[in-house]
Amino acid sequence: MATADLNPRASALPPGAANVEDDLKAWAAEERRAKWKLMTVRVLLAIALLALWEYGTDRWFDALWFSSPLRIGRHFLSWIQDDLLSHLVITLRETFIGYTCGTLLGIALGTLLARFQFLGKVLDPFILALNGIPRIALAPLFIIWFGIGEPSKIVLAGMLSFFLCFYATLSGLRSVDAAYISIARVMGANDRQTFFKVVLPAASPWIITAMKVSVPFALVGAIVGEFMAATAGLGFKIQLYTAQFDTTGAVTGVLVLMVVVIMFNTGLNRLEQHVLRWRPDNSAVGSSEVQ
């Protein structure tokens, strides 16, 4: 009996389709191996750095300055059992609300001024003047205006996120190739369809990049506000540990903030993959060109 009779699916495939399917499977397996290799190297590098840090403590430098991974780990475990989660929730709430409001307002205003160019020219010097003000210098004023509670930290975090997203959105929408818009108009698209189907997707890499960059800025705004005046939050605890010369506690708080930023950016990377799923995979294109 012929091979095609034993495998009906193979006989149904057009000529060459089986080879393409095998190539795709091989490419997917290679991608998985590359990801595991990258993750393994990263983990080994992190372990090596931590081991070097631990070994150098009290040998190359005093533990008072940088503490050590083991001390930080023990402090972290005891802090979890104490009040870490309550302070973390406060800082995350301030950061998330400020970041969300700042980015949404920045994207909305950037889109508005990109669509209405005359309005953009009118408001441009005023926005530029506001952007020239160091936002951190406004933290004491925000505390006077909004109090020592969460609203002052939310406003500061939102301002630090706003201008990044605003200028990225404005630049991204203005830099869309006019040929794409002309092609959409020729195909019969109206203004609304052209904006949502052509202009906005073309500018989305700019916007998402600004959203990712804004995450640490929003967190910095919340932390600086807590440094200035607060009764709770990670910034408040780091300031307290620093005043007590407790390097272990302060470094532990900084590392917790670092993990928070990584988690925020991981979520935004997933959003980027979903929003930009229309773009071709560069690695796939490159591998096919090499073949």
Instruction: Count each helix (H run) and each strand (E run) in the chain, helices first.
Output: 15, 0
- Measure the CA–CA gap between 102 and 110, rounded to whole angstroms: 12
How many distinct structural domains can be found in the chain? 2
- Please indicate, yes or no, if residue 127 is contained in any of the structural domains: yes
pLDDT at 129: 84
- Please indicate, yes or no, if residue 261 is contained in any of the structural domains: yes
Degrees (nearest 5) of the Cα angle 163, 164, 167? 75
| DSSP per-residue codes, 44-95 | HHHHHHHHHHHHHBTTTB-HHHH--HHHHHHHHHHHHHTTHHHHHHHHHHHH
Same domain assignment for residues 49 and 95: no
Average pLDDT over residues 251-270: 85
Rg of the Cα trace of the chain? 26
User: Is there a contact between 219 and 88 (Cβ–Cβ < 8 Å)?
Assistant: no
Same domain assignment for residues 178 and 248: yes
Same domain assignment for residues 132 and 239: yes
pLDDT at 17: 52
Same domain assignment for residues 114 and 180: yes
Q: Tell me: pLDDT of 151 over 60.
A: yes
Confidence class of residue 280 from pLDDT cuts 50, 70 and 90? low
Structure-block tokens of residue 76: 């972290």
- Measure the CA–CA gap between 162 and 138, rounded to whole angstroms: 15
Per-residue pLDDT tens for 89-109?
A: 999 999 999 999 999 999 999
Per-residue pLDDT tens for 26-39?
A: 777 788 888 888 88
Same domain assignment for residues 136 and 219: yes
The residue type of 39 is M
- Please indicate, yes or no, if residue 3 is contained in any of the structural domains: no
Q: Tell me: pLDDT of 285 over 50.
A: no
pLDDT at 100: 92
Specify the residue for token string 């609300």. 97
Average pLDDT over residues 239-261: 88
| DSSP per-residue codes, 139-189 | HHHHHHHH-SSHHHHHHHHHHHHHHHHHHHHHHHHHTS-HHHHHHHHHTT-
SS3 state at 124:
helix
Q: Tell me: pLDDT of 290 over 70.
A: no
- Please indicate, yes or no, if residue 102 is contained in any of the structural domains: yes
Q: Tell me: pLDDT of 1 over 70.
A: no
User: Is there a contact between 99 and 158 (Cβ–Cβ < 8 Å)?
Assistant: yes
pLDDT at 130: 83
- Measure the CA–CA gap between 46 and 52, rounded to whole angstroms: 10
Same domain assignment for residues 113 and 195: yes
Same domain assignment for residues 83 and 165: yes
Tell which residue, 162, 138, 142, has the closest CA to residue 152: 142
> Which one has a higher pLDDT value, 254 or 201?
254
Per-residue pLDDT tens for 100-144?
A: 999 999 999 998 988 888 887 888 888 888 888 887 788 888 888
The parent domain of residue 89 ranges over 76-290
pLDDT at 105: 94
> Which one has a higher pLDDT value, 102 or 7?
102
pLDDT at 20: 65
Q: Tell me: pLDDT of 288 over 70.
A: no
pLDDT at 33: 83
- Please indicate, yes or no, if residue 185 is contained in any of the structural domains: yes
Per-residue pLDDT tens for 161-205?
A: 998 999 999 888 888 878 877 888 888 778 777 888 888 888 888
Per-residue pLDDT tens for 13-22?
A: 455 555 666 6
pLDDT at 19: 67
Q: What percentage of the chain has pLDDT greater than the value 70? A: 86
pLDDT at 226: 87
Q: What percentage of the chain has pLDDT greater than the value 90? A: 11
The mean predicted confidence, pLDDT, of the chain is 81
